[in-house]
A and B are shown apart, each in its own frame.
Chain A
Amino acid sequence: MTDAQTVLDRVTRVTRVPGVRGALVASALDGLVVAEQLMDGVDGRAAAALAGSLVGRLVRTAEGAGRQAPAFVQLRAERGSILAAPCPDDLVLIAVVGPDANVGLARLEMLDAASRLA
C-alpha cells in the first residue's frame, strides 16, 4: 500500500494542471477522503461521495456490458467537469476542473497517478 505522503504528492501533481480546482483520493466504497488538495469552495466530501458512487455505478455498467472496468471517467457539465480514475485497493482519484481546464493533461496525470497508487 502506498504511504500517505506519496498519495498526497500524486494528488498535488494533478492540481498543478491548469484549470484543476482540486483533487482528492477517496475510498470508492464509503466515500471517505484519504488525501485532498482543494481550492476554497470545493466541497471535497461531496465530490468524494457523489463521484465515488457514480464511478461505482459506471463500473457495474461496463461489467454488465461484458467489458472491463473503466480506467477513466469524465462527467462534463456547463461550468466544468468531474474527472475520476479508479485506483487499486478500491480507491478513486477525483479531480474537479473548470471549463477551461486542460482536461487532456489532467487525464494523463491522473492515469499516471492512479497506476502508481498501488
Chain B
Amino acid sequence: MSDDIRTLTTRLAEEPTSLAFLELAEALRHRGQLDAARKVARGGLSRYPGLADAHDLLARILSDQGDLAGAFDAWADALRLDPMRTGSLKGIAFLYFRAGDAVAAIDHLQRAAEADPDDESIAQALARVRRESRAMAHRTAPAPAPDPEPVTVAEPPPVEQPDPSSPFAELEGGHALVLVDANGLRLAGSLPAPDGDETGDRVAAQLAGVSREAARATRLLGLGTWQSITVESPDAHFVLVRPTGETVLLAAREPSLPMARVALVAERAARAAKSWLERVQ
C-alpha cells in the first residue's frame, strides 16, 4: 500500500464522516484498484447522497470498470444535484457518443461549454464530436468508436447493445422528443429550434407542473383525467402526453404533418419512455 493511500485510509478510519473518502477513492482509482475505489466511493455516498462530487467520482470509477449503465446513472445523479457540472456533462457526452448518439453528445458538451467557456478541452471535444459525427454520417460501413481523448474518463469497452440511456434510440422518427420530470428538468430527448439551437432544457422548464395544471382544469370541469394536449402553431405541431404520473413527453413536428399523426408519434414515444423509466429507476 502506498503512503498516500495508507494516510488517507487512516484519516478515514479516524474520521469516518469526513470527506476523505473522495481523495482515497480517487487515489485508488488512479492506481487501478477499481473494486476498492468503488467500495470507498459507495461507502461515502451512503453518508453523503447529496454530494455531486461523490456521484461524479463513482461514475468515473464505474466507467473505468466498463459499467456504462452504472456510470450513466451516477453522472445523471451528479447532474441532478449540480446541473452545470462540466465533468459529469462531459462524461455523459462521452457515453452518448460511444453509443452513437452524436446529437445528445453535442447537446451535453454544449451545456458544458456554457458552464465553463474557458475550458478549451470542452471546445476541442465538441469540435471532435462534430467532426466524427459528420464523418460517420458519410460512411456506409459501421463506424469505429470515436477517440475518447476529449473526455477525462478511461475508455470503456464497446457498446454492443442499443443505448440503454436513450428511450427514443430505437424509435423510428425518434427526434424532437423531450421527456420532462415534474420539476421541469429534461430527463431525455432533445428539441432543436429551426435555427438549430437546442431548446430542450428551456422547453422543459416551461413544462414544470403542466400536468398538475391540466389535471386541475379537467377535474374542476368534470372532464376526468387528462390524456393529451395538442398545440397548433403556424410553424409547428406539438403534442404533450404523460408516460407516467410524474412525467410529460413533448413531441414536436412540422405543421405539414397532420396533428393526428403527431399524436401517434407521441403515444409511441410515451410507451418507449415508460419502459425506459421502469428500467432506469
Contact = CB atoms under 8 A, between A and B. Distances in A.
A43 B222 CA distance: 10
Given A67-B233, A76-B229, A50 B191 contact: no
B124 interface: no
A57 B206 contact: yes
B249 to A, nearest CB: 13
A61 interface: yes
B194 A46 contact: no
Chain B contact patch, size range: 35 or more
Contacts of A72: 231-232
B230 interface: yes
Contact of A50 (B205, B206, B217, B222): B217
B193 A77 contact: no
Contact of A54 (B197, B202, B210, B230): B210
B64 to A, nearest CB: 38
Given A43-B221, A75-B229, 12 more contacts: A42-B221, A46-B220, A51-B217, A61-B231, A62-B231, A62-B233, A62-B238, A68-B235, A69-B233, A71-B234, A80-B221, A82-B217
A75 B206 CA distance: 17
Nearest to B200: A65
B44 to A, nearest CB: 38
A33 to B, nearest CB: 14
B233 A57 contact: no
16 contacts: A41-B222, A50-B216, A50-B217, A50-B221, A60-B206, A62-B238, A66-B193, A67-B252, A71-B234, A73-B232, A75-B217, A75-B218, A77-B223, A77-B227, A79-B224, A81-B223
A65 B217 CA distance: 24
Given A58-B229, A60-B206, A75-B214, A82 B221 contact: yes
B247 to A, nearest CB: 16
Contacts of A81: 223
Contacts of A79: 222-224
Nearest to A99: B223
B105 to A, nearest CB: 21
Nearest to A54: B213
A54 to B, nearest CB: 6
Contacts of B222: 41, 79
A73 B230 contact: yes
A67 B216 CA distance: 27
A76 to B, nearest CB: 5
A47 B197 CA distance: 35
A96 interface: yes
A26 to B, nearest CB: 13
A47 B219 CA distance: 11
A61 B203 contact: yes
Contacts of A76: 226-230
Interface string B225-269: 111111111111010000000000010100000000000000000
